[in-house]
A and B are shown apart, each in its own frame.
Chain A
Amino acid sequence: MQSRNAKSKTNRKRREFIGRAGAAAAMLTLAPGVRLVDLALARPADEPASDKVRWGMLVDATKCAQGCTECVDACNEEFGLEGMGRPKTDAQYIRKIDLKDKTTGKRYSLPMLCQHCETAPCVDVCPTGASFRRIDGIVLVDKHICIGCRYCMMACPFKARSFVHENLTDQVPEAPRGKGTVESCTFCVHRVDRDREPACVEACSREGHEALTFGDMNDPNSRLSQRLRELPNRQIRADLGLNTGVRYHGV
């Protein structure tokens, strides 16, 4: 197991190196603004996100351990979501849901978070456009123009959003929050833009569960795409046709 992990790590390192080298080659522009290949990797801060990328995640519920909350804890730390001891109003970007099949009694455990839908109901209903989908598929809230109407929370089929119910102190500089505005999982956009994985994914891997795979759904060679091809998976509330960016295997 250890050696396989190590091997896959080496492979990933190698792939990353090849990818970076390829990206560097692609950076050679034919003419200003025209590139041979657009980037699927981290980009300079002054460059806009690209629609060539669609960030997504696969949750492998068969590997998600009952009672384990590493992903949740990592998220809370990353965003400074220290609870106020008021469960009904405390923010949760990611939560563990325990399921029990009513017929068979089989139990499942899995994380639920913003599903980063392609046609997100929260984006549709937001009156000011504060709720928006970045071109690379990450659904975000612009906290400067969110008026706190909570219509997006009414519209979200996954209960993925929280409202900031109180004054905040000691905020995390990389992910500022705002009292009276709505917030949710950002896929750790501040990390992703620096070529790092979301905190929950990192934490799950660190624990050795490997239940979460993050990556570019548009890149057929990404580890995410490979796993999505290998493992049968589904969208939650697929009936709504939202084309979610988070897929689930084993439930």
Chain B
Amino acid sequence: MKPVRYQTLAGQSGGYWVLLAALAALVAIGYFAAHYMEVHGHYVTGMSNQIVWGTPHVFAVFLIVAASGALNTASISSVFGKNDYKPLARLSALLSVALLVGGLIVLVLDLGRPERLIVAMTYYNFKSIFAWNIFLYIGFLGVVAVYLWMMFEPRMNKFGKTAGTVAFIWRFVLTTGTGSIFGFLVARQAYDAAIMAPLFIIMSLSFGTAIFLLVLVAAFEWTGRPLDDDILRRLKNLLAIFVSAVLYMTLAYHLTNLYATEHHGVERFILLEGGVYTTVFWLFQIILGSIVPLMILFSPTFSRSRRALVAASILVVIGGLAQVYVIIIGAQAFPLVLFPGMEESSTFFDGAVNDYTPSAPEILLGIGGIALALLIAVVAMRVLPFLPERLGEQPSGTSEPEAAEAAAG
């Protein structure tokens, strides 16, 4: 196998600058949205004393979970020694850092007191999984940074496997921590479940791979770099397995809840009578976000089309956002059960389904987080050689991507 040659983005094209400007604008809008929330207070958002975590948390958790999964390709190459994936390991590690930073910024800017970030870094309650996560997130950035260094510096390449293994273990612990934010909440009917940790790990594999595929295809096609369909086919199969696994874990979660009478209320709410949450669950998470992508990924006709793969990945991302929306907001919309067997009512909305409408500042802050992640990736690829010049053995000029497109269209 020939040595892989990496090359920075030329960054001269109009398209590059337009992309950069568009992402920077979205980041700026996201920042001003957060500033608006901070100046006026959270009453200008859809969040309340009933729905205490809203759309920013959906975006933040999605990005943090996806960050861990974006490292898949790097892990497969270094930990499991699959050399075919090796040329993409740098991009994989870069994306995982970028997504994590994007998610964390959204989380921090939504805090009631974002300027007290230093407090969060200096005062710790080690019984809090949140406090642990602060270490896990910052540590992950450090571990992946070292891992990238081992990959970039030829003299350090020999430590790549060790660094990759540390990063691999770290990301599992990290996603366990993120899932446990919900798994450890004893108060709410939809949480307090050990399955949250493995569910989040599987979700990370699925969302992260989908985002990685999208960035990979965009980066190669927009810079005119040859991209072998072989690697895409492998990633496609991986994605299909991960999407199936998320479906399986979701099924196990709901079946367990459905068996326990105590949880029938919340299950009836999410699965049948929850209005928007029921729609988001069935239509966006299950049908559009899982079943349709699986049909595309497994279909002999579509599975060879790059466009179809991109479409499936986009659907997985939408389904992922929907899933996190149901997990975070749907669970809060269902009232706390203080007195089983009683009808409860109060001026504080006890016993009532809590309504929530995402507000513009929340959505813009969340989109700003995604834009920041992509901006970091786009700038980093311009500055350092993250992308290989080519992927696959075919001589340059071969029109295999075009052939695939022709097949699709």
Q: Which residues of B contact A100 (CB under 8 A)?
A: 342-343
Q: B260 contacts the other chain (Cβ, under 8 Å)?
A: no
Q: Tell me whether A71 is interfacial, beta carbon within 8 Å.
A: no
Q: Which of B127-135, B241-249, B300-308 lies at the interface with chain A?
A: B127-135
Q: Kindly list chain A residues whose C-beta atoms are within 8 Å of the C-beta of B41.
A: 164-167, 179-180
Contact with B along A164-198 (1 / 0, CB 8 A): 11110000000000111110000000000000000
Across the interface, name the chain A residue whose C-beta is closest to B51. A88
Main SS class of interface, A: loop
- In Å, the complex CA distance between A168 and B366 comes to 27
**B49-93 contacts to A (CB < 8 Å):** 49-50, 52-53
A28 at the interface (CB under 8 A from B): no
Q: Given that A98-B344, A100-B342, A126-B125 are contacting pairs, would A166 and B112 also be in contact in the complex, using a CB cutoff of 8 Å?
A: no
Neighbouring B residues of A96 by C-beta, 8 Å = 346-347
B345 — nearest CB in chain A belongs to which residue?
A98
List residues 51-99 of chain A with CB under 8 A from any CB of chain B. Answer: 84, 86-92, 95-99
Give the shortest distance, in Å, between B359 (CB) and chain A (any CB).
12
- Is A251 part of the binding interface, using a Cβ–Cβ cutoff of 8 Å? yes
Q: How many residue-residue contacts, CB under 8 A, span A and B? A: 171
Contact call B338/A89, Cβ cutoff below 8 A:
no
Bound Cα distance from A157 to B187, whole angstroms: 4
Interface flag for A127 (CB, 8 Å): yes
In the bound complex, how far is the Cα of B38 from the Cα of A237, in angstroms? Answer: 35
Is B18 located at the chain interface by the 8 A CB criterion? no
In the assembled complex, the Cα of A127 lies from the Cα of B123 at a distance in Å of 8
* Residue B298 at the chain A interface, CB threshold 8 Å: no
Tell me which of B25-33, B113-121, B162-170, B226-234 binds A: B113-121
> B128-169 toward A: CB 8 Å interface, digit per residue (1/0)?
111100100000000000000000000000000000000000
Q: How far is the CA of A64 from the CA of B361 in the complex (A)?
A: 43
Give the shortest distance, in Å, between B327 (CB) and chain A (any CB).
12
* Interface flag for B2 (CB, 8 Å): no
Considering the complex, give the chain A residue whose CB is closest to the CB of B54: A150
Is there contact, CB below 8 Å, between B131 and A165?
Answer: no
Q: Which residues of chain B come closer than 8 Å to A156, judged between CB atoms?
A: 187
Interface size on B, residues (CB 8 A): 47
One of A84, A112, A123, A146 near B338 (C-beta < 8 A): A112
B263 to chain A, nearest CB (A): 13
Whether A95 contacts B186 by the Cβ 8 Å rule is no
Asked if A148 is at the interface (CB within 8 A of a chain B CB), the reply is yes
Could you show 29 A-B contacts with beta carbons less than 8 Å apart? A84-B43, A86-B43, A87-B349, A88-B349, A89-B42, A92-B348, A97-B350, A98-B344, A98-B346, A99-B343, A100-B343, A112-B350, A121-B185, A124-B127, A125-B127, A127-B131, A130-B123, A147-B111, A148-B111, A151-B181, A154-B53, A154-B332, A159-B348, A163-B112, A165-B49, A178-B113, A180-B111, A181-B112, A236-B339
Interface of B with A (CB < 8 Å)? 38, 40-43, 48-50, 52-53, 111-114, 116-117, 119-120, 123-125, 127-131, 134, 181, 184-188, 332, 336, 338-339, 341-350
